[in-house]
Amino acid sequence: MDKKKYIENSINESLVKLSPILFLMGAVIFICLSALDYVSTPEYFRTFLGYQVAISSLLFLFFLILHNYTFRSILIYQILIFIASVGSAITVEIMILKTGGHVSSYYIGIGLVGIWVISFTPVRFTLSLLLMLAVYGTYVLPIVATEKIADFQTFFTANVFLLALLSSSLVLRYYHLTSLANELGLKYDLEEHKIHLENRVNDRTAKLSDSIVRLQKEIVERERIELALNKSSSEWRATFDSTTDVIMMLNTDYTVIRLNKAATLFYNQPFKDLIGSSLSQLFPVDNLQKDANMRSILKHSVEHEEGNVYLSDKKVWLSFSLDPIRDNDGQLIGRIFMMRDITVRIKAEEEQRKLQAELLQIQKMDSIGRLAGGVAHDFNNILSAIIGFSQLALMKLPDDHPAIESIRIIFDSGERAASLTRQLLAFSRKQVLEMRVVNLNTIIENMVKMLRRVIGENIVLDLNLQKPIKNILADTGQMEQVLMNLLVNARDTMPSGGRVKVETAEVCLREENDQKVTPGSYVMVSVTDTGTGMSKEVQERMFEPFLTIKGMGKGTGLGLSTVYGIVKQHDGHITVHSEQGQGTTFKLYFPMVNRETDVINVKKYSKLIGGTETVLVVDDEPSIRKMLVQTLQPLGYKLFDAPSGEDAVKLSDACPCSIDLLVTDVVMGEMNGIQLAETLQQRRPDIKVIFISGYTDNAIVQQDMIDRKLILMQKPLIPTALAAKVREVLDKKNALEESADTVQDLSGMRILYADDDESSRLLICTYIEPSHCILDICENGRIAVDKFQSGSYDLVLMDMQMPIMDGLTASRAIRSWEVARGLKATPIIAVTGFGGKEEVEAILDAGCTSHMTKPIDREVLLGTVSSYSSQRRTIAPDNGDGCGAGKITVKVDKDLQDLAPGYLQGRREDLKTLYSALEKIDYESIRVLGHSMKGSGGGYGFDNITEIGKQIEMAAGNQDLAAMREGIQELSQYLSCITIIYE
């Protein structure tokens, strides 16, 4: 709002305020002036009062209107003012006209109206002027129009006065307006200024509070950042320290300005000593002299660098990295140096590489072995025919036959091929070994002559054998093969002569890092030559088959691989030390055994010995079958042959005559050799078996055959060897005869045997007789008891069911007779046909020591008898009373004279209970009885009973059957041998 407008508004405002008052005052003044009329013109008083009341009413009406309503438009006020002014002027004019017109003194009334209207009404000057003209017009115009101006002077005067009055009012109005305008202008300016000031103050205040808020926000933010900074700093520190990698911060001069805990640990120096050292001190570049590149990296690195180094002084592999630190402008301000100990990883990697190489090598050897084994199988069959038939031909032909020479060559070549095949099998470890306890020295000494011949005259063979030397478990043939191969190898490396030394020694191998050695005691044999030696490359591959350095056609390349295979198959180890130009040493280690050498009865058959027995030959390979038949038939044997196991069984079933020997292949179609042998042995228990085998994939079967001591011949078969073997096997006693040989010599043992059944008596006689014991036989219990009382026996065999007196009664009689005499209990073995639980109880109750069920097994019988025989021997030499020299005399207090025998009797009763409890394996009863004896024995002076009781109690507590049995036996022995002296 500008100033002018402000002024106008202010004036208008005063008009709005003032106009109702003006109207009210106008109304009052008109009424008041009626008093004047009453004085000056009483004749018009009433008329004029009417006029005056009318105009007053109008004015009062205006007052009421404005008093109650405020109009927005100023024009309404101006119009009302105008109407009121003109109305007032007209009222006065009417009165003027009534009181003489132009000469009336009431003109002054017009003046009065004019003064009020112009002076007091705050309107614009132009409006005031307009009002003046209107008021004045209202006065002069009706007069001029209606009257003849008679008294001009008066009229003139009146007009002049009136105009002067109005003009004065107008001036006044003008002046008032001007001053008002000034005043309002000033006020406006002041107001304006004030507003401006206030605005500025507000403005400033607002700005201030803004910045305060900003400040507060900033403070909060700063605090938050500080906290976060602290947190991340400590987190960083912890991380920095927790890593096992060495981390160092370097400045641009490579001086350490910060480092982590791992660094102090790595250098084993305190923190403060390391700070300030230079990197070259801590990470000596001297160490890296060789690697110029590394040095330059460490000197001038401006980018990420990394590498691995080996610190020889610390013996560690390190992986390190160097990274630059830059400020915001990209300026280099330092470096981060990190390193990590990777020794373990490097070693592991190396280890893995090594393992992988080894694995590859093993796989390679294995697959070659498989191949060789597979080939060897077929080869053996072919060679069997070649060798077999050529030898047969040689035997049949007269010595001067022209074909003899050719056939001999065929035979020799076959033999060579067979030996090659054997070597292949040896390498593939698929051959069957005949493991015996042998002495390496003996083998070597037996071979010396042949070895000397093999190596030739210009090579000296030195033997340096440790004597005596422990035995090893080995296949003699294979050992010979090994030695032969090693010596041939040595010979071939010394074409112009030299020395070869064979040594043996007992060594103890410990576990070593690079060798897969089972620690233990070994017998070592070494072969050292002074030959050309082998290069590293050759050494790595020397055990591979078909590798030869001898030049084409000279060697098979199988020698060393065969050695390797054989040594491994013997659970041995092999080491090689070789230097080119210096010679080679092979050392072979075989596990030592602490056993005597097996005595082998090798019967040398100088010529083929035949026989008349019947032989069944089974092989699915016709040529082998034919060869076998042709070898054995001319020797006098009766031959049957079958192409399969099933056919062989059929043939055996159809053949009424005896078959003494089965010669069978192991690997055949449906029924293999072992199954066939078992089947036939069921039908013909006496049949003997020779297995022939090329090779089987199933090494377990082979091992099993060796374990079971089955007779096994390797293909290819040589007729002479076969014939010898057949004779050897046929001459062997059968199993029963053989085991009879092993029966313990029981001579001097006296056995009383009671049985009413004659066949049983006969059987047991045959069983026992070969053991040379004295057997006394009777038919019933009565005779047995009589015999027992008159003679003395180590053992009683008592049949339970017998006429006249049965076994139980006889046993009881024997026991009570023994007890009455204070004799030890003679073992009574009850022989029963049934052996049910109740019967066994009754048997034990009767005092029998043990029992046996019919049919009596020979082994069981002999085992039992000999077990009692050993007891008899350990206890005392027999002198007839069952105690021998073991008679025990015990001194007992004479006060106990009446008690002691009863006590002993009680213990004898206990003994029976003990035996039966033992049978039932009733530990608790035995323990209780043992405990009781332990408590009482010593009291009666029988300290031994206390001791034995203690032993029995403990054994029962531990549930140790053997110890219990022993204790009870001891008690029985003690009780039967005791003699009391009272004193």
Partner 1 sequence: MSEIKILLVDDDKSIQDLYDKGLENSVFTKRFAGNGKEALEIYCAWHPDVIVLDIMMPVKAGYSVLQEIRSKRDDKSTVIIMATASTDSQDIRDCITLGVQGYIIKPFKLKEIGDTILHYIQQDKGKSGVRPPVHE
Residues of this chain that interact with partner 1 (CB under 8 A) are 893, 895-896, 899, 902-903, 906, 928, 931-932, 934-941, 943, 946
Determine the 3-state secondary structure of 623 from DSSP.
helix
Residue 185 or residue 938: which is nearer to partner 1 going by CB? 938
For the chain, the first-to-last Cα distance in angstroms comes to 157
Residues with Cβ < 8 Å from 56, sequence gap 6 or more?
A: 26, 27, 28, 30, 31
- State the nearest-atom distance from the C-beta of 936 to partner 1, in Å: 5
- State the nearest-atom distance from the C-beta of 819 to partner 1, in Å: 17
Structure tokens at 275: 């700070």
Residue 611 or residue 937: which is nearer to partner 1 going by CB? 937
Cis peptide before 468 (omega within 30 of 0): yes
* Cα–Cα nearest to 440, from 540, 525, 353: 525
Size of the chain in residues: 983
CA R_g for the chain: 73
- State the nearest-atom distance from the C-beta of 780 to partner 1, in Å: 39
Residue 622 or residue 902: which is nearer to partner 1 going by CB? 902
* Cα–Cα nearest to 717, from 664, 640, 775: 664
Structure tokens at 89: 């002027």
Residues with Cβ < 8 Å from 406, sequence gap 6 or more?
A: none
CA 839-841-846 angle, to 5 degrees, is 95
- State the nearest-atom distance from the C-beta of 817 to partner 1, in Å: 24
- State the nearest-atom distance from the C-beta of 896 to partner 1, in Å: 6
Residue 831 or residue 929: which is nearer to partner 1 going by CB? 929
Structure tokens at 401: 């036959």
Continuous segment of H or E residues that includes residue 966: helix 961-977
- State the nearest-atom distance from the C-beta of 934 to partner 1, in Å: 5
Residue 525 or residue 945: which is nearer to partner 1 going by CB? 945
Residue 185 or residue 939: which is nearer to partner 1 going by CB? 939
Asked if 885 and 873 touch (Cβ cutoff 8 Å), the reply is no
Residue 630 or residue 936: which is nearer to partner 1 going by CB? 936
- State the nearest-atom distance from the C-beta of 918 to partner 1, in Å: 21
- State the nearest-atom distance from the C-beta of 919 to partner 1, in Å: 23
Structure tokens at 61: 């009406």
Residue 636 or residue 902: which is nearer to partner 1 going by CB? 902
Residue 691 or residue 903: which is nearer to partner 1 going by CB? 903
Residue 495 or residue 906: which is nearer to partner 1 going by CB? 906
Residues with Cβ < 8 Å from 571, sequence gap 6 or more?
A: 518, 590, 591
Residue 632 or residue 911: which is nearer to partner 1 going by CB? 911
Alpha carbon distance 716, 64 (integer Å): 157
- State the nearest-atom distance from the C-beta of 824 to partner 1, in Å: 21
- State the nearest-atom distance from the C-beta of 949 to partner 1, in Å: 8
Residues with Cβ < 8 Å from 440, sequence gap 6 or more?
A: 469, 472, 474, 479, 504, 523, 525, 590
- State the nearest-atom distance from the C-beta of 917 to partner 1, in Å: 16
Residue 101 or residue 941: which is nearer to partner 1 going by CB? 941
Long-range CB contacts (< 8 A, 24+ apart) of 214-223?
none
- State the nearest-atom distance from the C-beta of 887 to partner 1, in Å: 23
Residue 793 or residue 903: which is nearer to partner 1 going by CB? 903
The owner of tokens 């900074």 is 229
CA distances from 376 to 426, 427, 455, 626 (A): 10, 11, 28, 21
Burial of 758 per CB tally in 10 Å (0-12, 13-18, 19+): exposed
Alpha carbon distance 474, 441 (integer Å): 13
Alpha carbon distance 564, 542 (integer Å): 10
Residue 400 or residue 895: which is nearer to partner 1 going by CB? 895
The one-character DSSP state at 880 is S
Asked if 725 and 609 touch (Cβ cutoff 8 Å), the reply is no
- State the nearest-atom distance from the C-beta of 939 to partner 1, in Å: 4
CB neighbourhood size of 892 (10 A): 19
List 505's β-bridge partners, or say none.
Answer: 524
CA 328-334-338 angle, to 5 degrees, is 120
Residue 530 or residue 944: which is nearer to partner 1 going by CB? 944
- State the nearest-atom distance from the C-beta of 899 to partner 1, in Å: 5
Alpha carbon distance 484, 489 (integer Å): 8
Asked if 729 and 694 touch (Cβ cutoff 8 Å), the reply is no
- State the nearest-atom distance from the C-beta of 945 to partner 1, in Å: 9
Alpha carbon distance 457, 446 (integer Å): 19
Alpha carbon distance 920, 844 (integer Å): 10
The owner of tokens 């044997």 is 637
